[in-house]
Amino acid sequence: MAQTPVSSAPVGVDSSRAALPSQARLLLNLQRVNKIAQRLSGCLEIETIARFVTDGLVDQFGCAFARIWVVEPNQTMLRLVASSGLYTHTDGSFAQVPMGAYKVGKIAQNRVPFLSNHLADEAWVKDRDWAIANNIQGFAGYPLMTGDRVIGVLATFSHSPMAAEFLEVLQVLCMTATVALDAALSVKVKSPGSAVSAALSQPLPLSDQLATILKSTTMALVGTEVLLPVSINHIFVQLAELLDALYCDYARLVYGSTGVLLEAIVAVPEAEGDPSAQQLAARWRSRCHQLQFMATCLGGGLQTQPGPQQQLVQITLQVPYSGGPYGPKVSIQCEAVLVQVALTCLVYKARLTLADPVDPETVIITNSASLVQGAANVIWVRVNAFSAPPAQVKAVIDWTVTADQLCQVVQLVHQGQWVEAIATPPGSPRPSEREREIMALLARGLRDRDIANQLYISESTVKFHINNSLTKLQAKNRYQAVYQAAIHGWI
């Protein structure tokens, strides 16, 4: 088999762009991720979704080859479902990988992403001579996780070294791929007698599907029921699984004029001193974040708020019946991955269309001055009150912008109009300089001890400022705090 030509440029950058600074490369790679993600919309075939992702890594990022394994129902084996590039077969020696075996199995077991640019020197490599003969230098693997559950592993190999930020790019790609694969896996019957799988595999009304899962729950149905797309059914069934694990006592399914809504009340267990309760509470938090992202992509939302009694939580999941008409085309070109993801969610919620930045009809949303040059319609994202936007931009937004406001601004800019800046309300949370520093380091994944060492302060001081930040941002945990900090322009 002919070998792919060797390139000296880092993965994700062709030789003509090798001199680009790291932030510019990151922006370019995120746009490539968007192109791959657009192909996954509406697809419910596991192998097809996986192949779109692996083909994209080869075509868009210049990888030598890429593969995706999914976890088998018995949770002891991973099955190869897609392979692109140098190898396209899925029936070779790595067609099945035991959980914990080789690097792919360890990534699935330990849930830790991995990147190496010295593959032949790694002790876990099965065939060192193969890596040398094929000039395979780089390897990156990433777990495909939905909540606290691993559903697969993505692995990619390269002839040239991989840039450090490539793991961040894979994180964004894997988040989208996981949502698509999880829906496809749920539609496929996983095992005989599985209530959830049986419900999803038949064109039943949603209330019947939920009743199959929520057997001990008193559920009410309001409105005239209609058959829904599988993508909408999937997110409601996923929430039902979570509600069933929390022994939900009450749920109400409402069919309105524009969408369907599920309301429920559950008792979140006390986590202190009880390992099983801690595990369930952690699963509750992680699944809520995942479902919130999925609902946003469908144009809806997930809200949780304290109920009338202590430990009770009210849950509301709302999704429109169909995508309906989308607004003008936009392209998000922000320098930090966290900012890119946050704005992507807002664009989904605003029902705008993600598009290629080279399209002349596309409105560019950015905080990078280098990308403003030559672009006709640009919306500037102001990350702090002291930064002056470039003169060429047609609108300025900050992190307090709502989905409705963003939609209005994009429509006006798309029409060629100039829009005045949206001011930050007086009541927005204001961080101290130390809180801003700590939240930025927390967003990079640093632990309290690492933050303390970098800022030359004690761990207790770090915890003090983090708790203050949680209060100002009205966040329940650090994950929410980092997300809210990005939205409010702290980081």
First vs last C-alpha separation in the chain? 48
* Same domain (yes/no): 337, 261: no
Chain centroid to Cα 151, Å, comes to 15
* Same domain (yes/no): 247, 213: yes
Domain harbouring 263, CATH code: 3.30.565
Average pLDDT over residues 142-168: 86
Taking Cα atoms as reference points, which of 193, 195, 192 lies closest to residue 208?
195
Any domain includes 297: yes
The DSSP line for 216-254 is TSEEEEES------HHHHHHHHHHHHHHHHTT--EEEEE
Any domain includes 199: yes
Query: Which of the listed ranges 129-143, 255-269, 366-380 does the model predict with the highest average pLDDT?
Result: 129-143
Any domain includes 5: no
The answer on pLDDT for 54 being more than 90 is yes
Quickly state the pLDDT bin for 384 (edges 50, 70, 90): low
- Position with higher pLDDT, 334 vs 206: 206
The answer on pLDDT for 288 being more than 60 is yes
What is the pLDDT at residue 13?
39
Ranges 22-36, 190-204, 222-236: which has the least confidence: 190-204
* Same domain (yes/no): 153, 22: yes
* Same domain (yes/no): 263, 312: yes
Taking Cα atoms as reference points, which of 201, 205, 200 lies closest to residue 241?
200
**pLDDT digit string, tens, across residues 64-119:** 999 999 999 888 999 999 999 998 998 888 899 999 888 899 999 988 888 889 88
Give the residue numbers spanning the domain of 287: 195-320
**Whole-number mean pLDDT of the chain?**
78
Chain centroid to Cα 166, Å, comes to 15
- Beta strand 329-333 pairing with 353-354: parallel
**pLDDT digit string, tens, across residues 273-283:** 667 766 766 66
Buried b (16+ CB within 10 A) or exposed e, 385-403: eeeebeeebbbbbbbebeb
* Same domain (yes/no): 109, 85: yes
* Same domain (yes/no): 35, 169: yes
Average pLDDT over residues 196-206: 55
Final residue belonging to a domain, choices 274, 292, 320? 320
Q: Are 333 and 366 in contact, with CB atoms under 8 Å apart? A: yes
What is the pLDDT at residue 219?
84
* Same domain (yes/no): 285, 315: yes
The answer on pLDDT for 4 being more than 50 is no
Quickly state the pLDDT bin for 197 (edges 50, 70, 90): very low
Any domain includes 428: no
Q: Are 266 and 250 in contact, with CB atoms under 8 Å apart? A: no
The answer on pLDDT for 415 being more than 80 is yes
Q: Are 263 and 314 in contact, with CB atoms under 8 Å apart? A: yes
Q: Is 28 left (phi over 0), alpha (psi -120 to 50) or beta?
A: alpha
Final residue belonging to a domain, choices 382, 414, 446? 414
Q: Are 317 and 235 in contact, with CB atoms under 8 Å apart? A: yes
Ranges 9-23, 53-67, 252-266: which has the least confidence: 9-23
Dihedral sign for Cα 371, 39, 362, 414, please. negative
Quickly state the pLDDT bin for 421 (edges 50, 70, 90): low
Average pLDDT over residues 183-187: 75
What is the pLDDT at residue 194?
44
* Same domain (yes/no): 337, 292: no
Q: How far apart are CA 385 and CA 406, in angstroms?
A: 19
* Same domain (yes/no): 239, 304: yes
What is the pLDDT at residue 7?
41
Any domain includes 7: no
Chain centroid to Cα 350, Å, comes to 17
Share of the chain above pLDDT 70, in %: 79
Average pLDDT over residues 224-235: 80
Domain harbouring 450, CATH code: 1.10.10.10
* Same domain (yes/no): 27, 166: yes
Q: Which two tokens stand for residue 376?
A: 């006709």
What is the pLDDT at residue 249?
80
* Same domain (yes/no): 283, 334: no
Question: Cβ neighbours of residue 388 under 8 Å, at least 6 residues apart?
Answer: none
- Position with higher pLDDT, 306 vs 366: 366
- Position with higher pLDDT, 326 vs 226: 226
How many CB atoms sit inside 10 A of residue 229's CB?
A: 13
Q: How far apart are CA 383 and CA 375, in angstroms?
A: 20
The answer on pLDDT for 192 being more than 50 is no
Ranges 88-102, 375-389, 440-454: which has the least confidence: 375-389
Ranges 143-147, 186-190, 335-339: which has the least confidence: 186-190
Buried b (16+ CB within 10 A) or exposed e, 405-424: ebbbbbbbbbeeeebeebeb
Quickly state the pLDDT bin for 21 (edges 50, 70, 90): very low
The answer on pLDDT for 264 being more than 60 is yes
Quickly state the pLDDT bin for 20 (edges 50, 70, 90): very low
What is the pLDDT at residue 164?
73
At 156, is the secondary structure helix, strand, or coil?
strand
What is the pLDDT at residue 22?
54
* Same domain (yes/no): 343, 215: no
Quickly state the pLDDT bin for 237 (edges 50, 70, 90): confident
Q: How far apart are CA 411 and CA 393, in angstroms?
A: 15
Q: How far apart are CA 3 and CA 283, in angstroms?
A: 45
Any domain includes 3: no
The answer on pLDDT for 200 being more than 50 is no
Quickly state the pLDDT bin for 19 (edges 50, 70, 90): very low
